[in-house]
């Protein structure tokens, strides 16, 4: 596992010990970032089920100002801390050990909005709709922001969830990526 592009291109990252997480492969990561960027002119990211932190670190490497990493697994949090340090992104990172509900409640009190939100929960949890509804209810996404959902190819996420519309969609073997953004009335 490595950083695919940006300021830390080629930097090797550590994986979470054990088999409690599924790291996003470099191929899927590169394709995902080509769909949403591939580079950013600032902004804040939220890596909600961070695992090793690979997606958020890739976001910083490609121009995000800062990423908040959240995971409830202590081994994952330790791995995120080590990977952030390897890339010298400590000042651009906030790392929290918490479950997604408590994390989103805490974040919603900070008046933050995000350019990119990555959601890669354990597939058995199927919490995407609940999370997207919370993001909408608390206005956590920038007007031009995106929500990236990585999920099993056995799961078909709806075209519309609250005010978010599925914008792009790709399948990579057993993995699907569904990208949502705000459905905003565009003036002619």
Count of domains forming the chain: 1
Tell me which residue range forms the domain holding 163. 26-182
**11 in any annotated domain:** no
**176 in any annotated domain:** yes
What pTM does this model have? Answer: 0.94
The CATH number for 81's domain is 3.40.50.150
**42 in any annotated domain:** yes
Q: What whole-number distance in Å separates Cα of residue 181 and Cα of residue 115? A: 10
- Per-residue tens of pLDDT for the chain, all 188 residues: 899 999 999 999 999 987 766 677 888 899 999 999 899 999 999 999 999 999 999 999 999 999 999 999 999 999 999 999 999 999 999 999 999 999 999 999 999 999 999 999 987 778 999 999 999 999 999 999 999 999 988 888 999 998 999 999 999 988 999 999 998 654 44
Quick one: tokens of 120? 């890669």
């Amino acid at each position: 596992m490595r950083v695919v592009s940006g300021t830390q291109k080629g930097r090797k990252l550590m994986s979470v010990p054990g088999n409690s997480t599924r790291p996003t492969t470099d191929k899927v990561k590169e394709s995902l970032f080509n769909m949403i960027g591939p580079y950013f002119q600032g902004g804040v990211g939220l890596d909600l089920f961070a695992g090793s932190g690979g997606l958020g670190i890739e976001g910083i490497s490609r121009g995000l100002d800062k990423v908040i990493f959240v995971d409830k697994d202590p081994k994952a949090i330790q791995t995120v801390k080590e990977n952030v340090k390897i890339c010298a992104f400590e000042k651009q990172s906030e790392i929290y050990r918490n479950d997604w509900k408590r994390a989103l409640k805490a974040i919603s009190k900070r008046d933050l909005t995000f350019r990119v939100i990555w959601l890669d929960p354990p597939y058995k949890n199927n919490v995407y709709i609940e999370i997207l509804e919370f993001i909408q209810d608390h206005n956590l996404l920038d007007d031009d922001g995106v929500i990236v959902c990585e999920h099993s190819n056995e799961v078909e996420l709806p075209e519309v969830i609250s005010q978010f519309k599925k914008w792009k969609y790709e399948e990579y073997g057993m993995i699907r990526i569904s990208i949502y953004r705000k459905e905003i009335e565009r003036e002619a």
